[in-house]
């Protein structure tokens, strides 16, 4: 195995600076870009990191740094692991996080696997704002970025020791985007002023139009009902609704009503007041832990329920096989099924999972 470090270069300034910082400290750096759309096509979003335009930005940055550069095609993997599940989640009334899916299945499964198998390298760097540290016994820990306002550790919670052992996160120690851009200018990077990517990088417009084109069956009109079963209106399809939303439900009652749940078998949206919607307990699925397993079958943690959300005190009870858990929050809140719940102790990511359903008060 070589000691080269491969840098996943998206075409943006963060990953380009990661490559520059590693090269500046004398590392043997190789840039690699992931094609996420078929060759010769553009994403719905002009800022998708997997288009030809983004690949050219990454290539130019690598050329400026004088490092080798490879372009690898992951369009099929991205479609199967990120785009299709995104559409299917909305079609079944869930609210997915495609960045989490991309990190887990594309960057740290497909790409890291190829870096190891095809290139014989042991290290992969990205431009994520987070940190990785090592204990004396070799255990790797995933921490929030130095700048909490730019922290992206939420989207990396699924990484285990296998991935963390290979991971380098050079920009996680910086003081934020201002320092990133200053350093990028100092290195003369051609994309130093590149705008930040969007949350849903492969969609440039309304996500509902994207889902409707691919899952029209999710836009069958249905009733809007109160929790007592009374019908108060109609909606245009569950594919355009998310649990917790307050606007766009299609009713006007003078009350602030939120989507409580979606009943797919009859395309019904159940709405209620905030007091009727929020709860303390949620079931979680697809649990993962950075150390390989939970700290205990039952433990306390701070739960972050959406990207850069406020940490909430919680107690977690993990099933015997470690794949599911019950999350009980110290205060009632509203979380949509399909969203990631990430568990922290201080700055350290313990792990997380996907919100499956509310369990009640």
- Whether 48 is catalytic: no
Q: What distance in Å separates the CA atoms of residue 290 and residue 143, rounded to the nearest whole number?
A: 11
Mapping DSSP to helix (H, G, I), strand (E, B) and coil, where does residue 14 land? Answer: helix
Please pick, among 48, 49, 99, 102, the residue that the annotation labels catalytic: 102
How many CA atoms within 13 Å lie on the side-chain side of 336?
Answer: 21
The secondary structure element, H or E, covering residue 235 is strand 231-235
* Helical segments of 263-319, H only: 274-277
Query: What's phi and psi for 59, nearest 5 deg?
Result: -60, -40
The secondary structure element, H or E, covering residue 315 is strand 312-318
Do 343 and 349 meet the contact criterion of CB atoms below 8 Å apart? yes
From residue 351, how far is each of 12, 19, 159, 286 by CA, in Å? 27, 27, 8, 11
Please pick, among 48, 49, 99, 201, the residue that the annotation labels catalytic: 201
CA 249, chain centre distance (Å): 26
Q: What distance in Å separates the CA atoms of residue 36 and residue 50, rounded to the nearest whole number?
A: 4
Q: What distance in Å separates the CA atoms of residue 274 and residue 70, rounded to the nearest whole number?
A: 51
Please give the radius of gyration of the chain, using alpha carbons only, rounded to the nearest integer: 22
Kindly report the three-state secondary structure assignment for every residue of 99-123. Answer: HHHHHHHHHHHHHHHHHHHCCCEEE
- Whether 102 is catalytic: yes
Do 324 and 251 meet the contact criterion of CB atoms below 8 Å apart? no
Catalytic residues: 102, 201
């Amino acid at each position: 195995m070589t000691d080269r470090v491969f840098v996943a270069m998206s075409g943006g300034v963060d990953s380009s600076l990661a490559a520059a910082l590693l090269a500046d400290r004398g590392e043997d750096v190789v840039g690699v870009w992931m094609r996420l759309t078929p060759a010769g096509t553009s994403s719905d979003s002009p800022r998708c990191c997997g288009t030809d335009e983004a690949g050219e930005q990454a290539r130019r940055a690598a050329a400026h740094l004088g490092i080798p550069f490879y372009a690898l095609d992951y369009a099929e993997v991205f479609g199967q692991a990120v785009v299709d599940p995104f559409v299917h989640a909305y079609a079944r009334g869930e609210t997915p996080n495609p960045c989490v899916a991309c990190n887990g299945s594309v960057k740290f499964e497909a790409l890291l696997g190829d870096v190891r198998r095809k290139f014989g390298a042991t290290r992969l760097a990205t431009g994520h704002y987070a940190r990785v540290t090592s204990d004396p016994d070799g255990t790797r820990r995933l921490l929030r970025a130095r700048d909490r306002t730019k922290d992206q550790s939420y989207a990396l919670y699924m990484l285990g020791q296998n991935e963390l052992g290979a991971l380098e996160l050079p920009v996680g120690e910086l003081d934020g985007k201002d320092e990133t851009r200053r350093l990028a200018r100092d290195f003369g990077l051609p994309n130093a002023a590149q705008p930040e990517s969007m949350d849903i990088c492969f969609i440039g417009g309304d996500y509902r139009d994207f889902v409707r084109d691919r899952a029209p069956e999710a836009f069958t009109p249905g009733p809007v009902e109160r929790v007592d079963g009374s019908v108060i209106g109609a909606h245009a399809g569950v594919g355009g609704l998310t649990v917790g939303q307050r606007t766009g439900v299609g009713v006007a009652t003078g009350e602030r009503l939120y989507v409580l749940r979606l009943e797919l078998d009859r395309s019904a949206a159940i709405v209620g007041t905030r007091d009727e919607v929020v709860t303390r307990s949620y079931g979680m699925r697809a649990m993962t832990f950075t150390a390989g397993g939970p700290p205990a079958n039952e433990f306390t943690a701070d739960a972050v329920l959406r990207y850069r959300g406020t940490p909430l005190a919680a107690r977690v009870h993990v099933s015997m096989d470690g794949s599911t858990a019950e999350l009980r929050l110290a205060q009632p809140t509203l979380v949509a099924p399909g969203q990631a719940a990430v568990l922290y102790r201080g700055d350290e990511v313990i792990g997380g999972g996907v919100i499956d359903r509310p369990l009640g008060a």
